[in-house]
Amino acid sequence: MSLWQEAVIDRIEAETPRIASVFLKADIARHIAGQHLDVRLTAPDGYEAQRAYSIASAPGEALVELIIERLDDGEVSPYFHEVAQAGDTIEARGPLGGHFIWRAEDGGPLLLLAGGSGIAPLMAMVRDWARGGGPTPLLLVYSARTWEELAFRDELLQLEAGHPAFRFIAAVTRGPKQRAGDSGRRIDAASLRQMLADWRHLPRHVYVCGSNRFVEGVTRGLPDASLPAGIIRTERYGGAD
């Protein structure tokens, strides 16, 4: 197990009304896309709260980027949204995790399915893939309630415009879709079949990340879309901070 060490907040940037990117200066080993850090906060009275956050930055970046969704009844996320400032020090350990990872040599085609803040580890994969500049096809399907709640939206749109092997589909569940190729419904077996038919690639690897409800709903639909269980990896969070 990695040892706890100090990490300094370099800056905090709003991604959506409820999600913030927290950039850390941390002396940790180079991570693999899909891994996470444990973060620990200690109150003046000695009370400790610890949470795991997936790394959104590409491996090898100077700063480690975490995205943190504000949960109103949470112990940790309100600190990053209301209290934390550049220069503050927290504790972190990692990188951790060896199942939900992707390296360039793993190849593709890649199908990534994200719900809400579950975009974090998949964004690390997208950025690592883009940096390689190879021809491996990648389809990212990202579900959020509204267009405004899609973290990294502009970066993803820019990448799609400049890279013919990358396709980005936004699945907006509580608002109008903004583009002809997007979806205005939850991801299910029927929508997955249509997306894969339009994409015209057979995935070699499938990664699904989001809330328990999101992951369970998507994975139920994957076999009906003719995707075998052996190629599917999932990571989920319970919705509690």
Query: Per the structure, how many domains does the chain have?
Result: 2
121 and 36 housed in the same domain: no
Contact 41, 77 (CB under 8 A): no
110 and 227 housed in the same domain: yes
CATH number at residue 88: 2.40.30.10
39 and 121 housed in the same domain: no
**Span 96-138, pLDDT tens digits:** 999 999 999 999 999 999 999 999 999 999 999 999 877 899 9
Beta strand 110-115 pairing with 205-211? parallel
Of the candidates 186, 192, 236, 231, the one whose C-alpha atom is nearest the C-alpha of residue 216 is: 236
Strand order in the sheet with 110-115: 166-172, 138-144, 110-115, 205-211, 232-237
CATH number at residue 115: 3.40.50.80
The predicted pLDDT at position 43 comes to 80
pTM: 0.93
**Which token pair is 116?**
């809400």
H helical segments located in 76-185: 77-78, 119-132, 153-162
Whole domain around residue 31: which residue ranges? 5-96
23 and 135 housed in the same domain: no
17 and 85 housed in the same domain: yes
123 and 210 housed in the same domain: yes
Residues of the chain scoring pLDDT < 50:
240-241
Which of 69, 96, 123 is at the close of a domain? 96
